[in-house]
Structure 1
């Protein structure tokens, strides 16, 4: 008999692996920035260099963990809503089957550990894992959905993520413009 809960920790492990990878890059960037503004040398007088690096890594990892956990929460909500609106499956089999797709993100997280020297490679691995999971989700959900429902799920997912990212980009640009406008020239 197969234990349904055997892979329940995979999403947490994937989030931790991606967080560690992205935080290693962020830590290097922060160290460079702190050195550039001259603060790093002063910090080394009070703390050992390894302690500073570890503290920065932990802080960056906590921030990345929060971002990836929020993305997973949003993704689970969008997946559930798309199945609610377009699936004929009332017992929840499609969502239960799609949970095994967390192996895709776990493999992506493991791959990202080997490429922490390049942000673009890590971002590419994360995007590739996301696209592969999306294809897997549509394939798994397709057994209990009509063709119109399948098209509805795809459009719902694409429109939801595009809207969220557009809103985030708009707010970021608005904030940037307001900060730039408030600076004395």
Structure 2
């Protein structure tokens, strides 16, 4: 993305922020309609405001959901977004799906994907979780800074620690069932 424009597709939404005249403007689109239209002094301010607006919309959807998503819903999401997955994303999902009790550490995810360390796996699994969240928002736990833990879209922290005192992530059952049903791996 350039210094003059940023754009991203997130589920049914498209965020566009760009330089216009002496300032910056941003639009959050949904199904061809403007949902948010803002102007600010910097591209960063516009982008942050658009991301916050999208996040608030998704959190509202998640809060309104009474049940967990079904395996069939998640399978459809996986099929819709599979073209965005890297080989590393697929390798991590496959390793997690095939792990004993579907529980795995970030170091094990990194090894499966060929990443140098658990930090890379944490980043990529969080990005993968964000892709799922954009399509099928659920209520997620928050960090101390108030941000949502996107990896929890895929898995839950078992509040247990594996080798090297790492968290153990247990794949959500409906994610595992949906992943199997999707046939993307």
TM-score by length of 1: 0.26
- Structure 2 length as normaliser, TM-score? 0.26
Q: If each structure's helix is expressed as a fraction of its own residues, which one has the higher value? A: 1
Higher Rg: 1
